[in-house]
Chains A and B, each alone.
Chain A
Amino acid sequence: MSADLRSKAAIAGVGLYGLGEAPGETHLEIMARAVNSALDEAGLSLRDVDGLFTSNMNNLLAGVSVAEYLGIVPKFTDATNFGGSAFVAFLQSATMAIASGMCDVALICYGSNQRTASGKLVSPVEPQPYEAPYGPRNPISAYALATARHMYQYGTTREQLAEVAVSMREWAKLNPDAFKRDPLSVEEVLNARMIADPLSVLDCCLVTDGGGAVVLVSPERAKSLPKTPVYMRGVGVAHTHKSIMEMPDLTVSPAAISGPRAFAMAGVGPQDIDIVELYDAFTINPILFMEDLGFCEKGKGGTFFSEGHSRPGGRLPVNTNGGGLSCAHPGMYGIFTIIEAVQQLRGEAGARQVRDCGIALVHGNGGTLASQATAILALER
């Protein structure tokens, strides 16, 4: 019964490092600095870590490489590469490991230097025989197909997609760690250079460096540690395809499965959520996810953003750090949804603090809308 995992783990520490540009540092170095930060605020050290949850696009055997770099021999390791949703998905396996007693201190961590190393999104190279002959650009071609279909089926407009980007920028303006903070208008997005219609360069997430880490322990242990515990109330993971060609319905992502799984475990619904932190790889993602997670009707995601509900002061803040579109996007974004949610819940978000924030939904996306992971984090157990 999935409800058995409800609140069986709590987040005791989070850390960020190198958001934006971290020149001269490797992806493992960036990751390790975030790890140090997270363990430090949790009042723990690497010697305490016995569960490792990590993934990246640099190491083929990511779990093994990261454990070696950190100098740990974990009792439990999960290095499943779901793409960017991996880190939210790790909340599931980390909670299972802690709840079953397989490990006591779970460390979720990630780091990337893609911006200063190559300036481009680092993607694994594997043969795509049914796509390659047609000249795709990964992953934007796939997201453009999903966006175009959503526009065709539901009348979503480029203006609404632009409103998503503008909303993210409004939050980034309040976040000193955000990479892009200058004002952004709908007109600018509409006039930006097109890459794959209907997506322009401003419909795409940033390419930055950055690292993050999250430390989970049992709820009892969390209460004895320095920071206010954030409970892992519910989590759900789902993947329905790898290639956009085999996505059952281009307008419905597997968030429509992971979301209900997470809500069921948590025992709450969309109406109970105070803030949403989700993986905005492209402007279509927040529209799809707000629909699939049940915050608005299918097809009405564009309206949700154009009516301003997600912005500072709106009734349902989305991506309070500026998201992948304006804050940071070091290749795999999932871990940053967790870290931002935790900082908001703890009241540590400074100028971008959302008042009366008790329950957050975090959502990660992987591949071409392929793998989705949703988690509910709360101050109340």
Chain B
Amino acid sequence: MKSLKWLRVLLIVLGLLPFLTSEVPGQEACREVIDKTNWKEIDGRVPDPLMEWVKNGDFVLHVDELTYAPAEYWPSFVLESRAANIGKYALDENDVIVDAKTGELARSVMGIPFPNVDPADPKAAAKVIYNKHYVSFSSGHKRFTTNIAWIGRSGFEREVEGFFIEAYMTGFPGAERIPNPRDIERYNIITVKKPYDLAGTSVMLWRYLSAKDDVNFSYVPAIRRVRRTTPANRSDGFLGSDFAQDDMTGYDGKTPAFEWKVIGERDVLAPYAYTYPIPMSRTQKGEWLMGRGVEGIHYAYQDGNTSVAPWCPMNTVFVKRSAWLVEGKARDPYYNYGTQYLWIDKELWWPVYKVIHTRSGEFWKFLLITTIALENKETKDRLVLAVDQLIVDVTRDHATYTKQVHPSASMTMFAVVDLNDFTLGGFQKYCK
């Protein structure tokens, strides 16, 4: 009888566990809340799809001001590159970065390659995209966990957790010391950690500085071997989510794969995770580590809030910024997207929004990319990153978000990585 009593207690505790371990949201007070009653205040300040969602009640925006100047939140070499790289680089006929004087492939670019972009330059948009790529390289090699969650109108559907390792062969000082005989731009490895049936699936990318196509490998536990996969399939849904591979951080493909055009410059309310920088520390190896315990973005379904769309981010703040509006059209005739429009922060070069059309020109998806700033007050290390993303597919009334910022995970920048991992032999470590 005693054992039955304890069993009852255990069942009650187990029953309460999910609720006790749920993230408890904390909403900061902000300067202004924009909802369906005052949506006109954001007319022209956000992309039209977002404005429509606020207007119809699917979204609520918290508008605020940053307590810091994000353009100062770069490592010193990036700040210096804003002067040092003026006129140093150019784009060749294939939209590949070359040394402006010699025309040779630019193998070691520090910081922002094109600090001053002239909108009248026919290659202006491609340069903006390169700046976007190189700011992501400027935080050095990275290790981080990303959770990808599928959200429908009824709420949470499924989740995949992936572990990312990214190694850059250009873009930051540490890369200069790495021998790079094959002119690699970057390597990355993604390993799925959960759910169980996908766990162990790993993909590896070799991307080249030239216009040469990527080399892709994937390891699938079900077949227990590494297989070569096509690098051209970047508009396919990632594991069935609303994201395509190229959607990550706004655009994760090769710059020459698209025709780019600057449409103009816009003032925009850009999404930020916090109005202030969050703490960062250094490891014994000198790596930069985002602090643990940071809540990150939470969404309406997590609060049980049914007054807005389940995927409405509830604690994102929208901050006034200036952005390039860039149009992109894939050169690949089989690419699954039509015309895309990217809003790219003019100071930070991080995309903040993307609007995706179908191949027949209809509005299809909307991507929102959150920015975060990090600071180590002791060492004065500073960084600004694009992190959590939300993509909404309007045709299916469905969304997917990625989450790098959450209490139990931590992102490592200027990470110490073993480049042997990115070889065929080293990749075996990530294969079950």
Are chains A and B native binding partners rather than an unrelated pairing?
no
